[in-house]
C-alpha cells in the first residue's frame, strides 16, 4: 500500500502528500488517515456489463455502445483539501 511506503520514507499524510483510492473498500474507512476515494456503482456496472454481453450474444454484429455510470467522491482525511470538509459516513 502506498501509505506504508510514504510513511517509511518520512512523508506525512496528508500534510506532505495526498492519496486517494478507487472503489471505496472497507479498508479505506479503517486506514489511517481514512482514505479519500472514488465510490463506484458496483451493482449498476455489473448489471450493465451483463446487459451488454447479452446484447452482443444475441446480435454479434451490433454496434458497440459506451455508457457512463455515476461515481461519487468520498472525501476523507487522506487529502489535504478535504480536512476542513465533513467526513463521509461509513457504509453499513
Per residue in 11-51, pLDDT (tens digit) is: 999 999 999 999 998 888 888 899 999 999 999 999 999 99
Instruction: State how many domains the chain has.
Output: 1
Q: Please, are residues 39 and 24 in contact by the beta-carbon 8 Å criterion?
A: yes
Is residue 91 included in any domain, yes or no? no
Q: Which of the four pLDDT bands, split at 50, 70 and 90, describes residue 61?
A: very high
pLDDT at 88: 52
Is residue 88 included in any domain, yes or no? no
Cell numbers representing residue 33 in the block: 488517515
Is residue 92 included in any domain, yes or no? no
Q: Which residues, in sequence order, are CB contacts of 89 under 8 Å at separation 6+?
A: none
pLDDT at 2: 87
Give buried/exposed letters for 24-57 (b at 16+ CB in 10 A, else e): beeebbebebbbbbebeeeeeeeeeeeeeeeeee
Is residue 36 included in any domain, yes or no? yes
Domain that holds residue 31: 2-82
pTM of the model: 0.68
Give the whole-angstrom CA distance, residue 57 versus residue 4.
45
Is residue 13 included in any domain, yes or no? yes
Amino acid at each position: 500500500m502506498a501509505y506504508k511506503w510514504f510513511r517509511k520514507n518520512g512523508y506525512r499524510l496528508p500534510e506532505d502528500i495526498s492519496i486517494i483510492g478507487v472503489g471505496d473498500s472497507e479498508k479505506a474507512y479503517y486506514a489511517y488517515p481514512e482514505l479519500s476515494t472514488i465510490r463506484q456503482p458496483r451493482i449498476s456496472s455489473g448489471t450493465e456489463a451483463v446487459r451488454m454481453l447479452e446484447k452482443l450474444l444475441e446480435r454479434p454484429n451490433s454496434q458497440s455502445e459506451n455508457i457512463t455510470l455515476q461515481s461519487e467522491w468520498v472525501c476523507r482525511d487522506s487529502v489535504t483539501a478535504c480536512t476542513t470538509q465533513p467526513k463521509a459516513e461509513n457504509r453499513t
